[in-house]
């Protein structure tokens, strides 16, 4: 059996990337995005105190759309 260096290199890259992200976030403020799956299967994403809601077929899609809406609000 040969050694697969690609997966080792990738794992090392991910670990270093995670460490760098953790260093940058150390002093960042954290928040919670609330995700809710409705009876019809659609997901909604929002935060307490924010009058914006992201919708999507998946939780990730709803959260991404919510973040895009927040970004637009901040830039305007």
Q: CA-CA distance, 60 to 65, in Å (whole number)?
A: 9
Task: Quote the pLDDT of residue 14.
Answer: 64
> pLDDT tens across 8-59, in order?
555 556 677 777 777 777 767 778 999 999 999 999 999 999 999 999 999 9
Predicted pLDDT at 72: 93
Predicted pLDDT of residue 3: 46
| Segment (H or E) for 56 | strand 54-56
Domain membership of residue 25 as a residue range: 5-75
Kindly state the tokens that stand for 69: 């809406």
Q: What is the tally of helices (H) and strands (E) in the chain? A: 2, 3
pLDDT score for 2:
47
- The whole-model pTM stands at 0.61
Number of domains comprising the chain: 1
Residues near 50 by beta carbon (within 8 Å), at least 6 away in sequence? 70
Q: What is the pLDDT of residue 12?
A: 58
């Amino acid at each position: 059996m040969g050694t697969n260096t690609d997966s080792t290199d990738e794992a090392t890259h991910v670990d270093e990337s995670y460490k760098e992200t953790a260093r940058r976030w150390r002093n960042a403020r954290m928040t919670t995005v609330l995700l809710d799956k409705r009876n019809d299967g659609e997901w909604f994403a929002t935060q307490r105190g924010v009058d914006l809601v992201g919708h999507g077929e998946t939780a990730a899609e709803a959260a991404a759309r919510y973040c895009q809406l927040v970004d637009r609000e901040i830039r305007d």
